[in-house]
Copies of this chain bind each other. A is one copy, B any other.
């Protein structure tokens, strides 16, 4: 068998391969599972090999997060109607962060990441299409992006807390709702009354309701 002239190992390490492995570990076992020991085991390599392609753990997490966000932005097919497109993009981010809770934590730890560029550009562009006046554009885009990432991050924290078991989720929400319901209605009128809705609410729908409130507020700026 004849060796190729440039004998490059097809299974050689690269930042991309490492980042993909890291993302798989994060999806499997959450943030605590991503250790350099787990990574070297999965890639059958040594620590130095990884550090040769990646500056440190923080760099690794950032790169994995960028990859997820970039994929969402690439896949988010956006229709013509800007209002609906804003809902689609927002929901795409929400779902991606729900599926990869570590992304939510990372984004709130390091905003201004390159991946967020695409998000700002897309959302800002759609706000322009909505005729938001120029002087309000920056604040409106900032607020909406922050709302989307903020809520998605909070939701991801819950997802992380509750594993992926639906029964767990109901039990947890039920327990919190019971605590809320047990509060003195004179001292906590709102929370006491909101207990039922807490038990029954759908995070995704509540998220979208928030986006709609936002868009309604932005519409008053026109």
Q: Which residues of A contact B (CB under 8 A)?
A: 104-105, 108-112, 117, 120-121, 124-125, 128, 136-143, 146-147, 149-151, 153-154, 157-158, 161, 176, 180, 183, 188-191, 194, 197-198, 201, 206, 209-210, 212-221
Contact = CB atoms under 8 A, between A and B. Distances in A.
Contacts of A153: 108, 150, 153
A117 B191 contact: yes
B213 A221 contact: yes
A149 B146 contact: no
A190 B149 contact: no
Contacts of A212: 217
Nearest to A172: B112
B142 A210 contact: yes
Majority SS of interface residues in chain A? Answer: helix
A154 B106 CA distance: 11
A125 B210 contact: no
Nearest to A143: B210
A140 B120 CA distance: 24
Contacts of A140: 209, 213
Contacts of A141: 190, 194
